[in-house]
Structure 1
Amino acid sequence: MTGLPGYEPGTPETFAAIGARAFLIAGATGPMAEPTVRLLTARGDRLLLTGRNSGRLDELRRRYGDQIATFTGDVARPAQAARAAGIAHRLFGGLDGLVHMIGGFAAGSASGTDPRVHERLLHANFLSAVVTTQAVLPLLGRPAWLVYIGSQAVADPPPALGAYAASKAALTTWARALARETEHGGLQVNVVQTASAGTPHGGPSPVRPPAGELRVVTPEQVAHVVGFLTSPNGLTGSVVPVPGRRAG
């Protein structure tokens, strides 16, 4: 796995003292998710993987065995999120955190993007995080870990990504506010701020920065930072950049 200096995700030995922990992984069927599943199970964590692609969930279950359970459904809907969180809590005898990897993407001009596209992106990138977080919060032990996947487009939105960047900005601002509200309550709340994702299923972006400026982050790099942010050495209230490497 490609690591990032300074972000150590922990080893099975690191976590032996605190025992196996249980996480709900929202959006586990997406192309960014499997390296995170691999890293967390390798260190002994138990996972409830959620997604709408039942075939992909079955594949992950066969690959990772009894350390994971799966839930097919849309956890961006409150009733299904509550059901998934309850299943995780019952199966594992507790719940220690959420890794939110649900997301959507669309490109279009800031002046001309259809409001319905804005609504879809806000639902996928922001409101799904609110819904899943509100479902797990009453069931979390302490300490607990909440991790969300943001975007570097928030800080410097490129042309034609205004709607996408705005939806990720909503997620990032909300997560930072949640961290401030819970900083003395045993929760660690953080955002992984990624560059463009280089994934097997992602394909080329329809919007590209000037030559030499495009940076690509791998799912393995994201997993490494998620591992760090769900470790005893984690932070809270942080937006952790994963700049990736220059493409080409």
Structure 2
Amino acid sequence: MSKVWLITGSSRGLGRALAEAVLASGDYLVATARNPEQLADLSKRYGHQVLTFALDVTDEAAATATVEAAVKTFGRIDVLVNNAGYGNVGSIEDTSLVDFRAQIETNLLGTIIMSKAVIALMRGQGGGHIIQFSSVGGRIGPAGRGAYSAAKFGVEGFSEVLTKEVSPFGIKVTVIEPGGFRTDFAGASTVLAEGRAEYAETVGATVRFQREYDGRQPGDPAKAAAVVIHIAGLEEPPFRLLLGSDAVRSVEKADAARIAADREWRAVSVSTDFEPGADIEPMPWEKKAG
């Protein structure tokens, strides 16, 4: 049975690759972008199989209107993909609060707004799948990406709560964590600011790496799109999924260091209980549902 997808940020990058793959597979698509003229070629090629819609994900009214248009046109939404986002590079000291707010509003609040816009619909349908595009930057905080990582770490935490709340209704949640893919994310979509000399070895190193990495990233957007379509067809999809060998390598290294640090300081951590060593009642989220 064909699915109905709603993908934010469909005009470029991984969102565009996924939009084209969804349509090529025969599914239906609501493709959104701030400027829907960038999606005109999809309408020309796929006709009534696709609905293009202007959407700023930070606008709650626009999110509601997009969901309503999707239901009016296709009758339901089976898969929401929160892909819209961007990330500039610069030191926390030199990043303006305006820039911080803009990145957090698009990457985090946009994801929250769109997710909330479909929950009641999917609950009424008896199911659905919300796919959040986070990043390796949602698991690791690289120098120079303070605003972006703050937002993506937020997406991860929000999604952990979301899946616990909506899974009883048959709604699945998957967080996609890409590494470097050959899109314009590191090019035209990103402002790279090395900033003052004091940050040359930290933020400056990230900026230089980003410039040199652009066009040499290991990730293939078409292969990523195929994986997302596969995940959307599973009865039990993963909650988290890293994409790209660079993402796997970096996160495995960071997670191992985090576990080692927790173990090193465990005695200090548990020493703060009123009765250290006593049996503690499991937290509600530690108990398996059902």
* TM score, norm. by length of structure 2: 0.71
Match of 1:217 among 216, 219, 235: 219
The residue type equivalent to 2:165 in the other structure is E
> In structure 2, how many angstroms separate the alpha carbons of the residues matched to 1:222 and 1:124?
22
Deviation at 1:209, TM superposition (A): 4.3
Aligned mate of 2:159, from 160, 168, 175: 175
Alignment of 1:35-114 (within 5 A): 35-114=17-96
Residue range with higher mean Cα deviation, 20-29 or 109-118: 109-118
Partner residue of 1:22?
4
3-state secondary structure, aligned to 2:169 = coil
Deviation at 1:61, TM superposition (A): 1.2
Q: How far did 1:101 drift?
A: 1.0
Distance 2:31 2:245 in 1: 26
- The structure that is strand-richer by fraction is 1
Report the residue type matching 1:127 in the other structure: L
Whichever of the two has the greater Rg, that structure is 2
Count of aligned pairs between the two proteins:
226
**Alpha-carbon distance between aligned partners in 2 of 1:209 and 1:88, rounded to the nearest angstrom:** 41
| In 1: Cα distance, 2:77 partner to 2:219 partner | 29
Which of 148, 153, 174 aligns to 1:190? It is 174
Give the 3-state SS of the residue equivalent to 1:145 in structure 2: strand
CA contact (8 A) 1:75 1:84 kept: no
1:164 to 131, 148, 156: 148
Alignment partners' CA distance in 2, 1:216 and 1:58: 29
Q: Tell me what 1:8 maps to.
A: none
Report if aligned partners of 2:15, 2:84 keep a CA contact under 8 Å in 1: no
RMSD: 2.4
**Are the counterparts in 2 of residues 22 and 92 from structure 1 also a CA contact under 8 Å?**
yes
Q: In 2, distance between residues paired with 1:105 and 1:33?
A: 15
C-alpha offsets along residues 24-75 of structure 1, whole Å, 9 cap, x if unaligned? Answer: 1111113222221122223321111111122212122113332111112323
Give distance in 1, aligned partners of 2:157 and 2:184: 30
Aligned residues of 1:104 and 1:125 also touching (Cα < 8 A): yes
2:231 aligned partner: 229
Q: How far 1:192 sits from its partner (Å)?
A: 0.6
User: 1:99·1:146 contact (CA, 8 Å) conserved in 2?
Assistant: yes
Residue 110 of structure 1 and its aligned partner are, at CA, apart by 2.7
Gaps of 5+ in 2: 193-206, 248-290
Tell me how far apart the structure 2 counterparts of residues 41 and 232 of structure 1 sit (CA, whole Å). 19
The one-letter code of the counterpart of 1:101 is: N
Inter-CA distance 199–215: structure 2 relative to 1 (3 Å threshold): closer
Identity %: 25
TM-fit CA distance, 1:234: 4.2
Unaligned runs of 5+ in 1: 1-18
Q: Could you tell me whether the CA contact under 8 Å between 2:3 and 2:78 is conserved in 1?
A: yes
Question: Does the CA-based 8 Å contact 1:147-1:229 persist in structure 2?
Answer: no
Closer, same or farther in 2 for the Cα pair 1:33/1:178, shift >3 Å?
A: same
State the one-letter code of the partner of 1:242. L
Name the SS of the counterpart of 1:163 in structure 2.
helix
1:111-142 superposed Cα distances (whole Å, 9 cap, x missing partner): 33222211111111010011111112222223
CA contact (8 A) 1:192 1:225 kept: no
Query: What's the CA shift for 1:189?
Result: 0.3
Bigger mean CA deviation after superposition, 181-190 or 197-206: 197-206
